[in-house]
Copies of this chain bind each other. A is one copy, B any other.
């Protein structure tokens, strides 16, 4: 385990400028009394308060989702929100506090496509270091083909492999997950996949 303790901190309402700041940009996120130093027992510089020694850690985020199938069709959702509004993605989103990864994947399917899914395997764990994201993607079955666009989707659809709109896929990791599903298919037991060799989720 790392040395970090509870990430307690007080927030002050940020200025609009800050809203556009990168998730972990210390310049945008820290007051002047914080400075960069490596705490005792730690291995890299952290933002440390010069007054009381409080250490502010940045943490990667967890995305949970699924490749959910009904017979020979896969569920895709056309994004109603940025980034990549209008492009197709899997039902996926940020894991919530106090939620298991499987619970989160089921919740995202409901939220984005009103889809009830049954998880039947961990398809892949992807890392997207550029975004400091870990994506936990399950293989799942739709319990019914009754799907509808949730508030974050413009439309949703069930696609045969040859019908997938490859030119309009939102993110590289969506392509990875679709390809990994194609690889494992309905196998009862399969190894979880990871990033394709050399790929880290950047746009080409």
A residues within 8 Å of B by Cβ?
Answer: 1-16, 18-25, 28-31, 33-34, 41, 43-44, 49, 51-52, 54, 56-63, 79, 81, 89, 92-103, 107, 111, 121-122, 125, 127, 129-130, 132, 134, 136, 151-152, 189-192, 194-195, 200
Q: In the bound complex, how far is the Cα of B2 from the Cα of A89, in angstroms? A: 12
Q: In the bound complex, how far is the Cα of B9 from the Cα of A102, in angstroms? A: 29
B58, B99, B121, B151: the one within 8 Å of A191 (CB): B121
On whether the beta carbons of B191 and A122 are closer than 8 Å, the reply is yes
Whole-angstrom distance from the CB of A80 to the nearest CB of chain B?
8
What 10 new A-B contacts, CB under 8 Å, besides A102-B194, A125-B125?
A3-B152, A8-B19, A9-B29, A10-B14, A11-B34, A13-B31, A24-B97, A57-B94, A125-B136, A190-B191
Whole-angstrom distance from the CB of A200 to the nearest CB of chain B?
7
Interface of A (DSSP majority class): loop
Q: In the bound complex, how far is the Cα of B7 from the Cα of A181, in angstroms? A: 32
Q: Answer whether A1 and B60 are a contact pair too, CB < 8 Å, given A14-B54, A100-B195, A192-B122.
A: no
Chain B residues near A49: list those with CB within 8 A. Answer: 13-14
Question: Can you pick out 30 interface pairs between chain A and chain B where the beta carbons lie within 8 Å of each other?
Answer: A1-B81, A1-B89, A6-B20, A8-B19, A8-B25, A8-B28, A8-B29, A9-B11, A9-B12, A9-B18, A10-B13, A10-B30, A10-B31, A11-B31, A13-B49, A14-B52, A16-B52, A19-B54, A41-B81, A41-B152, A59-B61, A59-B62, A59-B97, A60-B97, A97-B132, A99-B132, A100-B127, A100-B200, A121-B191, A125-B192
Of all chain B residues, which has the CB nearest A110? B43
Whole-angstrom distance from the CB of A150 to the nearest CB of chain B?
9
Q: In the bound complex, how far is the Cα of B71 from the Cα of A28, in angstroms? A: 49
